[in-house]
Structure 1
């Protein structure tokens, strides 16, 4: 199975972040897992990232207070952070067709994953991303 150098998780829920990080570590899918609890924190971290610190995958929660996943996507592209090969997977507790339509203009978004994470599916997805990176 392919491994990634770095995964960034962007989610405001501390419990979800703890559980997701533990699952990712147990699944052994990445060398490094960075947790960001807000859009601003994630954008700041990405703005200064270089080389191996640029995540190959971002797991992005759609529903967050203040700024949500769609705000992140807007800022990600407006700030020119889409110039690398980073892939983005949107995490959501419910999926609406309007959400799928809304992200069609963001080519870095490769999938939607419904919470809680199905680790079998997620491992296959990460493996595909690792192979194509």
Structure 2
């Protein structure tokens, strides 16, 4: 499997951040992990990285229900950045709402919709598909 330079976790729940980060580390396939606690913080930092022509993450694991900016607000703004490189976004949420799954389809993320808690096997599957 190919090594991944950077993975970005956007989530406000410390328990899920810990679990997801640990699974990403255990995969042995990721060099760096970026962690943001809400969509606004993530957007601001990722836009600054893009503006500075630095390397953006190859994978974003995005929670939906967060304070300040939720995952949907992040996506609405993030897709406006004219990024040329491929970034694989996976929704990682506790929401099993049909409305959220329909919303994910609008961003072409219906196949990338994972319900927490994530299993180590799901992380390995995500990384093996890249």
Same fold (TM over 0.5): yes
Q: Which moved more, 1:11-20 or 1:33-42?
A: 11-20
Q: What is the SS of the residue equivalent to 2:57?
A: coil
Write out per-residue CA displacement over residues 51-110 of structure 1, whole angstroms, 9 at most, x where no aligned residue: 6630000000011123211111111123x1554200100011132221121122224675
Q: What is the SS of the residue equivalent to 2:33?
A: strand
Q: C-alpha displacement at 1:12, in angstroms? A: 1.0
Q: For this pair of structures, how many residues does the alignment match?
A: 128
Counterparts of 2:119 and 2:19 in 1: how far apart (Å)?
13
Counterparts of 2:25 and 2:104 in 1: how far apart (Å)?
28
Q: Report the TM-score when normalising by structure 2.
A: 0.86
Q: Which moved more, 1:14-23 or 1:3-12?
A: 14-23
RMSD over aligned Cα, in angstroms? 2.0
Q: Tell me: CA distance 1:102–1:122, structure 2 relative to 1, closer, same or farther (3 Å).
A: same
Counterparts of 1:89 and 1:59 in 2: how far apart (Å)?
5
Runs of 4 or more, structure 1, over 4 Å off, are: none
Per the alignment, residue 26 of structure 1 pairs with: 26
